[in-house]
Amino acid sequence: MKAAILRELGGKFIIEDISLAEPIGHEVLIDVKAVGLCHSDLHASRFGFEYVNSLPLLLGHEVAGVVIKVGSDVAEFRAGDPVAVSLIRSCGHCVPCRTGRPYQCKYPDDVLRRPDEPGRIIADGDSITQAFGVGGFAERVLVHENQLAKVPTEVPFPQAAILGCGVITGAGSAINTAKVRPGDTVAVVGLGGVGLNVISGARLAGAGKIIGIDIQPVKFELARRFGATDTVDSRDADAVKTILDLTGGGVDHCFEVIGLSETARLAIDITGVGGGVYIIGVFKPDAQFPIFPPIDMIGSQRKIQGVYMGSTDIKHDIPMYARLYLEGRLNLDDLVSREIRLDEINEAYADLDQGGFARTVITSF
């Protein structure tokens, strides 16, 4: 089967022929119908995350498809089920997993094959790393059932794919992590695919003002379609003052979805007394958090929290978001900006780097 393999950090994806092992135990083999081009994969292709010494690498984690075959211990899924895949790896038996926090699992590697077992990916003489336990830039994936959620057949595959990362990360940050309440004020710094989903989550939670912030005004109209009530160009000299004026001194919840020290600083500056700053953006490995006088922490009573995958329990949240989409209450259609073939991945990532598209999805191989 065809897969887009990365052989050097910062290099291009190369279309190669590989194959997958048969599913064993809790594994599920899936026919990939759609896989999104998430910014985290671009980041990983340059900086490697923990996989820096594990090239060649098969990235891609925002996947939807149809179950082909299941391992002998799988009870939840059967052949023919439409599913969305997530990169959240959870063992299912540690304390965080058993108390509703699988995104804080202590043993995420338990869902991978052990080093003494044959690998899932079979390639000619090469051992290929399956990034995040998924490896979705391929015609098929072989994953642990804990990384899968069922989606209704009525949800188109590109929309279902985005549920697995962009939606749960963005909407979950507002609903699960920040626990936005009706009437709260919210700011979202960065209006890419995840930022738009933060807006969706804030709207579902009943937020009063939702302020979309970016340096590309072309994104403002799209942000309004997702529920932004106001938009601010952060390059304006009086951007901070505008937001403080709009909210009577700062927002209740501010989400940083870019991953830059400057935008983290902005997020802190526009968060009001007792508010929360949520860091979702992926920073470069050598980036530093902006230093500010600690005395300000006491007077402002702000909290700053890192957010991983929208504090999501995929078995509960993905079917919930799918239902909200089918009820017309969650905008997924405007997230899918372009559908491409696997061999167009390099050009599409170059476009994504320019910040031009909400989400590009590979739908043919």
Question: Which residues of this chain interact with Zn ion, rule CB under 5 A?
Answer: 38, 40, 90-91, 94, 97, 105, 165
Query: 138 or 246, CB closer to Zn ion?
Result: 138
Concatenating the DSSP letter of every residue in 58-83 gives E---EEEEEEEEE-TT--S--TT-EE
Please tell me which residue in 40, 86, 234, 311 is annotated as part of the active site: 40
DSSP at 234: T
- Decide if 91 is catalytic: no
- Provide, rounded to whole angstroms, the least separation between the CB of residue 132 and Zn ion: 9
Spatial neighbors of 228 by CB under 8 A, at least 6 apart, are: 188, 191, 199, 210, 211, 212, 220
- Provide, rounded to whole angstroms, the least separation between the CB of residue 89 and Zn ion: 9
- Provide, rounded to whole angstroms, the least separation between the CB of residue 267 and Zn ion: 21
Q: 261-269 vs 239-247: helix axis angle to the nearest 10?
A: 30
Query: 211 or 279, CB closer to Zn ion?
Result: 279
H or E stretch covering 42: helix 39-47
CB 132 within 8 A of CB 61: yes
Q: Do you know the residue count of the chain? A: 365
**3-state class of 10 per DSSP?**
coil
Radius of gyration of the chain (CA): 20
Please tell me which residue in 91, 97, 105, 165 is annotated as part of the active site: 165
Query: 94 or 123, CB closer to Zn ion?
Result: 94
- Provide, rounded to whole angstroms, the least separation between the CB of residue 81 and Zn ion: 22
- Provide, rounded to whole angstroms, the least separation between the CB of residue 101 and Zn ion: 9
Structure tokens at 279: 């860091």
- Decide if 165 is catalytic: yes
- Decide if 61 is catalytic: yes
Concatenating the DSSP letter of every residue in 168-186 gives HHHHHIIIIIS---TT--E
Query: 28 or 38, CB closer to Zn ion?
Result: 38
Please tell me which residue in 26, 39, 45, 61 is annotated as part of the active site: 61
Active site residues: 38, 40, 43, 61, 165
